Structure 1
Amino acid sequence: LVVVRDYNHFELLGQTRDDAAGEAFDKVARVLGYPYPGGPHIDRLAKEGNSSAIHFPMGLSKGHNFDFSFSGLKSSVINYINMMKMKKEEIVAEDVAASFQKAVVDVLIEKAMEAVKVTGMKTIALAGGVAANSELRTRLEEECGKRGIRMCRPSLTLCTDNGAMIGCRAYYMARAGEFADMSLNADPRLPFNAEQIKL
């Protein structure tokens, strides 16, 4: 969760402490027997399932923080599947997908709405690969509508295109004269610049 002041100024509110939501979707899909990327498979299966069939925990849902944790949820799903196999009971993939997806979407929406309340922002932009999830798109739009919050979301074709996201970011950095020399290397754990974080 990031407060965007303008194209080049951000305030980090919270981030994942372990698996990102998209990673969790991919891993759960894999244990259900579906290939990468897993998100579309979970989304499709969930439409046919009962989201109340299985109770899976919402990671870091309490405590008034904006961080996320999905590794416990992923482990809970895997443990459930293994337990059902050991008991030789039927695994209803649609119910597993719907219940898992609900746990993810519930916590994403809960924290986004809390962030809006705390920051006083009037617009939410949904971004990244999980922004393609139909349940998240629908429910976030409903929650924003109840609160009079404007919601922006990319078209589905842009949700998983990291190249487009990176290119857009680079465009605004270049316009602001922000360039790196040729010694810069890729760093997947690169933090926000210190001056951009004001918690």
Structure 2
Amino acid sequence: MNRRKRQRVKESTGKQLLEQLKGIDWRAQKAKVQSTLGSLRLRYLELPSLHQKLIPAIAVLLIVLLVIPTPDPEATPAQPAPTQRVELDIDTRGLSEQGSTVVSASSPNEQVWTEYVIQDGDTLAKVFRSNDLSVSDLNALVKIEGIDKPLSRIRKGQLIRFKLDANDQLDILQLERGSEAVMFFRLSDGGFGRSK
């Protein structure tokens, strides 16, 4: 019973719309549009030639911008998989504050720090080769060393400390720079990060 009433309402609305459309004087509407377009054309022709050329270009640009789809603000961006965090014991004091004593390993998994003092003519590549460190690790470190270039500007007497992981790969590298120390450490994805 409700369905029939709804259909009747729709039919009566459609009939009213048709009657309103039949009541419109289309010839008068056409004449109004033509007169408006004619006055706009006259105003357009009065504009400077540069403006006459720019108006169609801007109109095309607006149409293109309206047609290009915009990103949905409600759509959530794809989030990368969370990285696994590994807790590291990092001594943030400068090397001069720490002294030159190396703490012995308290457990079999914990490795000791190895210290090396830069000699005259040493390069970082030479230091890595003499301590059996991977050159690919050196390349990865140089890529992230930053604007101050602490790895590229080592000098005689500078202290370098490094620590190997359980697989004898470079885990942490620390450079003394005056009263500060710069530290590079291995990330869980195998790359390196830098402190400060």
- TM bucket (normalised to shorter chain) is under 0.3
More strand by share: 2
Structure having greater relative contact order (Cα 8 Å, sep ≥ 6): 1
- TM-score scaled to structure 1, two decimals? 0.20
